[in-house]
Structure formats: structure tokens, C-alpha cells
Amino acid sequence: MNYIILWFLIALTAFVIDVLTSSFFFAGFTVGGISAIVAYMFDAPFLTQLIVFGVVSILAITAEYKWFREKMKKSIPKTLRMEEGYVGRKIIVDEDIQERGRIKIDGIYWTAVNQGQPIKKGARAEIIDIIGNKVVIKRLEEDK
């Protein structure tokens, strides 16, 4: 059997699947198939061609996975959960808060943990963190 046809079909099929799925997973098999064709051109036995195909495919898939994962981390902005968007927001406190209390943010009541001086009703505070289901707040200095 003429193995160059086999390697060409494997490389072409992997390339077509990769183009259709946009997953970049099959690009490694395309590179492996092309490498096996090169091994065939150097009159390597079929077993050597098979080993070249396997090793190069695995290396190519590993390399493209690492590259693709890093590129995706950099290009996709992190989507904040609703409550993560609260951090840095200024609010008016509805009740006196010593160490713990209750605040209302966008119509939802949250348990507030005060970090700093006691906060009087009507004073302004800043949300500095969200820990679990608790909002960490701190009195704004202008409202002493």
C-alpha cells in the first residue's frame, strides 16, 4: 500500500474537521500527518512513520493546547458576578451599624460587616468586599 495516500488523507481529514469545528484540537493530527509524509519521503518504514505521527501529534496537541489556553485567558474579559460589581460602590446606611448590621443594595437586604468605626443611620459607606453572603463596608471619612 502506498502510505503517502494514507497520511495525506489523515492530514486532510483532520484539517477539514478542524476548520468545521473551530476547536484547534485536530490541527495536531494535521501536523502529525504531514510529519509522517516527511518520514515516508525519507523511506522510513511504516512503523517509524506511525511513531512519528503519534509523537508529533501528541506534541503538537500539547503545544497548541497550552498556547490556546493562554490566549483565551488574555482575550476573554472576566465576567463579574452581580455582587462583585458592588465593590467600590457608595451606599447610604438605613440603620446604625456597629460591627454587624443590615443594608439594602438594589432592593436586596444583605448582612453587613463593618470594618472600622460605627456607622450611623443615614451616613455614607463604601462596599469594600464581598465575603460569602456578607458585604464588608467601611464608613466614608467625610461622614464622621
In terms of pLDDT, which residue wins out, 98 or 141? 98
Spacing of C-alpha 135 from chain mean position? 26
Q: What is the mean pLDDT of the chain?
A: 87
HSE, CB side, 13 Å, CA atoms: give it for residue 86: 23
* For residue 58, pLDDT beyond 60: yes
In the chain, what percentage of residues exceed pLDDT 90? 42
In terms of pLDDT, which residue wins out, 71 or 129? 129
> Hey, where are the domains in the chain?
3-75, 82-143
The C-alpha atoms of residue 98 and residue 127 are separated, in whole angstroms, by 15
* For residue 51, pLDDT beyond 80: yes
Residues in the chain: 144
In terms of CATH architecture, what is 82-143?
A: Beta Barrel (2.40)
pLDDT digits (tens, 9 = 90+) for 22-49: 777 888 999 999 999 999 999 999 999 9
Three-state DSSP at 94 gives coil
